[in-house]
Amino acid sequence: MEKNSSIRQKREFIKKGIFCGGAVALSVNTGWPSFTDGTNTGKSMETSDKPGKFCKEARFQVQTPKGIRCMICPNECSIPEGTAGDCGNRRNFNGTLYSVAYGNPCSVHIDPVEKKPLLHFYPGSLAFSIATAGCNLACLNCQNWTISQTNPDKTRNEDLMPEKVVDEALRSQCKSIAYTYSEPITFYEYTCDTAKIARSKGIKNILVSAGYIHEQPLREMAMYIDAANIDLKSFSEDIYSRLNGGRLEPVLNTLKVLKEMKVWLEITNLVIPGWTDDLAMIKKMCTWLHINGFDDTPLHFSRFHPEYRLTQVPSTPVETLTKARSIALEAGLNYVYIGNIANTDSENTVCPSCHKTVVVRKGFRILQSDLVTGKCGHCGQVIAGHWS
Amino acid sequence: MRGRPDSGMMLIFTIGFCAIPAQVILMRELLMVFGGNELFIGLFLAAWMLLTAAGSYLAGLLNLREEHIPFYALVLTVLPMILLYLPNVTRNSFFEPGIEPGLLMELIFTFILLMPFCILSGFLFAKVAEKKVFAGGKKLSGKIYGIESAGSMAGGLLFSFVLVFLYDNFRAAAVIALAGNLMIMWSWRDHDRKIQLFMISITIVLFGFLTYAFGNRFAREFLFPAQNLIESRDTPYGNLAVTRTGQQTNVFENSILLFSTDNQQSSEEAIHFVLVQHDVPRNVLLISGGITGLTNEILKYSSIDTIDYIEIDPFIFEIGKKYTNALTSSQINLITGDSRIFLQKAQRKYDIVIAFMPPPSSFFMNRYYTREFMTLLKEKMSTSGVFSFSLPLTTNYLNEGSVDMYSSLFNTSRSVFSEVHIFPGLKGYFVASDQRIKTNICQSIENKSISTDYVNYYYLNEPDMERRSESISGQLNANAEVNLDFTPTAVAAFDKYWLNRFQIDISSFKIALVVFLALIFVGMIFVSPVQGGMFVAGFSSSSLQVILILAFQIVFGYIFKIIGLFAAVFMMGLAVGAMLHSRHMNRVNNTDHSLYTDNVETGFKPVSTLTVYLPVYMQVILAAVAFIIPGFIILAQTIIAWPQLLLLLFLSIILLISMVTGIIFSILSNTGSNGQGGSIRHIYGADLAGASLGALATSLLFIPAVGIKMASCLAGLLNIMVIFSLIFRQKFRPGRAKKQYI
């Protein structure tokens, strides 16, 4: 009798266990979309199965035996039918890749060009800044995560085709159009088409990017880009993988290609305590830049503040930034700035020849300029940049 | 059992005694390590109770020899202490340093962490209870439940009224472990293997002393790699840690950075956007955040007479005095306490009120973002007074959660003040007043000759800021519901915003939860009406407890000890209810193990007809209380002038709910063919499962969906549905019903 009771109890337990397990499975299946709502999954999206108004056939796609592959960036996503790539913006409709980020920016603002940051490119001018949703990286500290870690289906977008972007920039008296905030590589076609029109109308084009792109698409895009700010997030493959979900090497190549193509280039390095604040690594980075001829490329060290998922890290101490700047200057880089720290002279431009201050800045404003047609007013040294 | 005759009951008591402090300590620790919020709390409690329920069900499958019981019991007392180290020590091994892992990973981690203690405690309770009931009869079930509840009450009171004020989590866990250890050793002092028992006990004591002396410091070091940990203090409100990186001092609250020194921009924006609005500000009320540098910015205005600076956690003032120069001025009055309680009694009229609080991430925090709060504030402001608060902002785009949150709070502010403006900066700064809001901040700063580093023409582009402000306003939903104390729309919006960071869509999440609950309800009711009845009772009582505690906080204010008192009274009610019924059963039937017999004098009827109705009557009482609570809350708001009466009324209702639940437990565990121990295990498990899902569903689904008052009615409605279901089963399937109980 005891044995029967024990068997009955075990049966009951198994029955309840199966029931509860089934309930959990059903619930998880119902709720699973909630855990994979973001774009960076390659999952099916809740959209029409035909390309819509804001779609354009994607460039740099190849057919492989395993299906369509996007070759814009080193992610090289294989994208099955009805799904999107890691960036969320390249989608397979009936065996053809389309960009779904064309003419539908979710973020449109007018910023001072110094905010990009670009300090040697028409200072004091305004940049008409646009971005669609999506990004091909997944930085843990992204300050634009609300648009980068999602896709255009989930954002409130404007209807702003390339011609209209240029018209708006002209109307707003902006010197340039900046493709920025999220990652313009993921709205490649939109960027290129808009840039072409902008150039024809005398508007400059600024690319603000992480630089995570293959060489060929970069070269084609760069033909229409006048200036770029590239985020060199660290100088370590390991950190690039763990912090950003990418690789270092392609970004270094981007820097070289842009320099070679004479795109005005400025580089930003965000110094994150515990991640990218290793001074030895910063020295290595600056040495590489020096060796590869980036002495006249402005380098901006930015102060980190907790953002997105990196909230349990303190802000960057000011002295770390100051030390980083010193290392960069000692390595031979001529223009090294610290962003967003008030009351320092690290925002000023110093002549690399006579070491006198040629541009005095405070915030986004120039207080005094001793430049004469792009040269130092004291010694005549050419100060790299586009000044007028 | 080879301990003293009462050793089993002592173990039951010890399980309860250790469980409640362990639950609170581990929850606080996980919140501290991961920086969670209300969502996480609900899920944590659900995980705790579900795992304990699983442990009690496991007792039916596994054997436990009597002589091993004290050994397992000792392990139970020391487990919380051991488990405390794990989140600290392993956090940066499992997750990248400094990141919030996300709800899913936190849940998985929590489940794994809680499994050893919860399963063991559920298992031990069920096993020991089983043995006691087998030896002494079903009528002991109620007494056993009562003793466990009494232990929970004792442990809860000790923690809430003593330990949390004196000790950090590690020391508190050490004290609980030592006390539990003593109880076990005392009960089994005549055990056959007392030498081995003693050796284990000594090891636990030694470990306890080491933890007491070094545990906190040792563990916290792991949380802040590449930083110099200066100080870490656990307070009733969480953990505050101070670290240094170079010359910079950083203050973390529950591992989230509160501020770093040399971060002027944040302080300047929080202060100057609002202070320039008033021509001659004299009296300022600062609700939280002063030590981040806000007070120094306020004092730049020469017209300032006083700053009343209030924090709920007094340790923040200690940190401020020790590590900053923010509290040196004699113009600053430091006030400890709940701001709403302070405002009710405040005599001064304020020209400026700045709330620099965390966002409305919990029902508690939401109280500072409601129309009722703003209305109260306005009464204490001068006619030209200006009020400001801030919310997280991603400057270039507001996602859905942000839009909902901003819309709700914008409309809430507009319902009290005639002018509201949002200034975008590092955060979104809401400035509200009945006077016109100036948007030419930089000009105003210059006019007042205030020296600033960031809020000036050099860093601020006013046209751009105005454009962005209009852009934000243009995205807001004019029809968004106003945020009220009892309809916390802002909390739901924040949850959506927060979950978006981990790419979780809250709607699907909630649907999944509803599906799960529905299935469990159906399963519980149709698989076993006895367990179903206990499940619903646990669900209702837990749900109503959450509602009442929340309602009390809203009406009266937040006082940590009172919350502990609520929990203790609840446990006491469970104990009293169960024991009362148990004693009654002893009187009714001393010799017969069957529950009821034909007894003309007492009027009790045979099992197959009455049994199901008595718990139904109790369920009806629970349902009635659930429907009365909304009216009671309205009444409570009118008698706020008599706080003692208010407190007494709340405690009485909690006592009633918990007593009824205790009675239900005792009734149901005396039923059933295998009521001799088997049913207590199942009913205990059902109670826990119901309680866990009740707390979860209430905080995650009911309150955000229908508000606090209606959530209570919803709980009552569920009760009624189940009652009808139980009656239906008994009435129309008597043959089957009879089989259930034989």
- By CA distance, what is A361's nearest residue in B? B458
- Say whether B505 and A37 touch across the interface (CB within 8 A): yes
pLDDT: is A49 or A342 the higher one?
A: A342
Per-residue pLDDT at A33: 52
Q: B-chain residues within 8 Å CB-CB of A40?
A: 503
**Chain A closest-CA separation from residue B198 CA (Å):** 34
Task: Read off the pLDDT of residues A186-204 as tens digits, 9 standing for 90 and up.
Answer: 999 999 999 999 999 999 9
- Say whether A34 and B265 touch across the interface (CB within 8 A): no
Per-residue pLDDT at A51: 86
Mean of pLDDT over chain A = 91
- pTM across the whole model: 0.89
- By CA distance, what is B686's nearest residue in A? A16
**Chain B closest-CA separation from residue A151 CA (Å):** 11
Least confident residue range of A4-8, A236-240, A294-298, B169-173:
A4-8
Per-residue pLDDT at A259: 98
Query: What letter represents residue B679's amino acid?
Result: S
Between positions 186 and 205 of A, the ones with CB within 8 A of B are none
- Say whether B397 and A24 touch across the interface (CB within 8 A): no
Per-residue pLDDT at B526: 66
Q: Is the pLDDT of residue A221 over 80?
A: yes
- By CA distance, what is B226's nearest residue in A? A274
- Say whether B263 and A19 touch across the interface (CB within 8 A): no
Sheet containing strand A349-350, edge to edge, reads A349-350, A357-362, A365-369
What CA–CA distance (Å, rounded) separates B680 from B687? 10
Query: What letter represents residue B694's amino acid?
Result: G
CA distances from A299 to A119, A266, B468 (A): 10, 6, 28
Q: A-chain residues within 8 Å CB-CB of B500?
A: 146
- Say whether A27 and B257 touch across the interface (CB within 8 A): no
Q: What letter would DSSP give residue B481?
A: P
Asked if A190 and A102 touch (Cβ cutoff 8 Å), the reply is yes
Nearest CB partner across the interface for B508, out of A34, A147, A314: A34
**Chain B closest-CA separation from residue A291 CA (Å):** 31
CA atoms within 13 A on the CB side of A342: 19
Reported ipTM exceeds the 0.85 cut? yes
Nearest CB partner across the interface for B99, out of A19, A31, A312: A312
Q: A-chain residues within 8 Å CB-CB of B399?
A: 146, 150, 155
Q: Give the contacts of B169 (CB within 8 A, at least 6 positions apart).
A: B25, B28, B29, B32, B84, B216, B234
Secondary structure of residue A274 in the 3-state scheme: coil
Per-residue pLDDT at B505: 77
Per-residue pLDDT at B596: 35
- Say whether B396 and A362 touch across the interface (CB within 8 A): no
Q: Is the peptide bond before B630 cis (omega within 30 degrees of 0)?
A: no
Per-residue pLDDT at A31: 56
Nearest CB partner across the interface for B247, out of A10, A33, A319: A319
What CA–CA distance (Å, rounded) separates A102 from A104? 6
Between positions 214 and 273 of B, the ones with CB within 8 A of A are 223, 225-227, 243, 245-248, 250, 252, 255-257, 260, 262-265
Q: Which residues of chain B have pLDDT under 50?
A: 1-2, 590-610, 673-678, 734-742
Per-residue pLDDT at B736: 45
Residue of B57, B397, B472, B477 to mutate, interface with A, max A Cβ within 10 Å: B397
- Say whether A147 and B396 touch across the interface (CB within 8 A): yes
Per-residue pLDDT at B741: 34
